[in-house]
Amino acid sequence: MGRLAQTDGLTEIQRDILATVRDFVDKEIIPVATELEHKDEYPAAIVEGMKQLGLFGLTIPEEYGGLGESLLTYALVVEEIARGWMSVSGIVNTHFIVAHMINAHGTQEQKDYFLPKMAAGEIRGAFSMSEPGLGSDVSAISTKGVKDGDSYVLNGQKMWLTNGGTSTLVAVLCKTDEGGSSPYKNMTTFLIEKTAGFGPNPTVPGLTVPGKIEKMGYKGVDTTELILQDVRIPADRVLGGVPGKGFYQMMDGVEVGRVNVAARGCGVARRAFELGISYAQQRSTFGKKIAEHQAIQFKLAEMATKVEAAHQMMVMAARKKDSGERNDLEAGMAKYLASEYCKEVVEDAFRIHGGYGFSKEYEIERLYREAPMLLIGEGTAEIQKMIVGRRLLEEYRIAE
């Protein structure tokens, strides 16, 4: 293990967890990732291995059967997993977002029911906010929840659900018109239990997951739509038990997700650097290894600096969230920097590989197709810059 992307101040337990995950990644993920990715095959054996390691309960409190670890531990674990195969980190990401939302905002009954099953990996979560025509304007959601007695009837179409087919619990944001005049107070999060699989759901009448969306990268993990036609959900499955708080609950979850995407960017970039510096010491041109050419050394130096900078920014954002403080500024910065640097480091590693980087026999080809997803996942670079810019104006506003 090289000196890049080290984290100061970790406990012995955190170091042990990371060592275990790193060993799992090296032995169980990296050797099979490219083959599974090319087949677009769900990594069932890898997921079962993570379940046995207790990773699905990593951040869930011990009282509910989890490990009770911090967001920082989670982010560092995600970084290691993404270093092996980014799609696997996506499988745990939405699960952790939903678990965080239930733990932070759920009723005691919801915590008691869902969290132990989520910690054991028996229930796995998906997160549903986006819609086909929505983009970044969350206030424009059209999926509707209408109160009918002690239930709500949901109608609409959601988009870009990671784990949409394989999950058994989906946190779905709907418009409910119960919170007030602001559109942000008229959204509610519903917790919908379903059976894993595609097509009409056998246990939730009216709910359909049509099938996997074909993607250029980020394969293996299923990305889907979700169609709701007169889906009836009991009122006790409103997250927190009170309608109208969905937007704020989702944004809290998205902050966790942005740290996750930053961690994924760090992991993919680190793997690209490892591949690039290894190949540079094997390939010879003009009578010497290409690593001895100054142009390649400059490129490796730039790549390593970006890997290190992104990692430290990600760690800062996670620690800020763990402290209980508002971290939208730090999470936005970390997600923006890590995703952009990941794209650049992967491309530089691709260039170092020369023509072989274009071959599917080399791992860098897969990373080159995966990196672009990080530029748009959990909010585009432009959205992150808007968030950061607004927060900076709040912090540095001059007196008039």
Query: What are the φ/ψ torsions at residue 162 (nearest 5 degrees)?
Result: -75, 130
For every residue of 9-59, DSSP letters joined together read T--HHHHHHHHHHHHHIIIIIHHHHHHHHHHT---HHHHHHHHHHTGGGSS
Candidate list 330, 363, 370, 378, residue with the active-site label: 378
Residue type, position 9, single letter: G
Let me know if 330 is exposed, middle or buried by CB neighbors in 10 A (0-12, 13-18, 19+). buried
- CA 99/CA 111 separation, integer angstroms: 9
- Judge whether 79 counts as a catalytic residue: no
- CA 76/CA 253 separation, integer angstroms: 18
- CA 380/CA 378 separation, integer angstroms: 7
Spell 262-296 as b/e; 16+ CB within 10 A means b: bbbbbbbbbbbbbbbbebbeeeeeeeeebbeeeeb
Alpha-helix residue ranges (DSSP H) falling in the chain? 12-24, 30-39, 44-53, 71-84, 86-105, 108-119, 246-280, 294-322, 328-353, 363-376, 381-395
Contact 172, 158 (CB under 8 A): yes
- CA 359/CA 355 separation, integer angstroms: 7
Residues designated as active site: 378
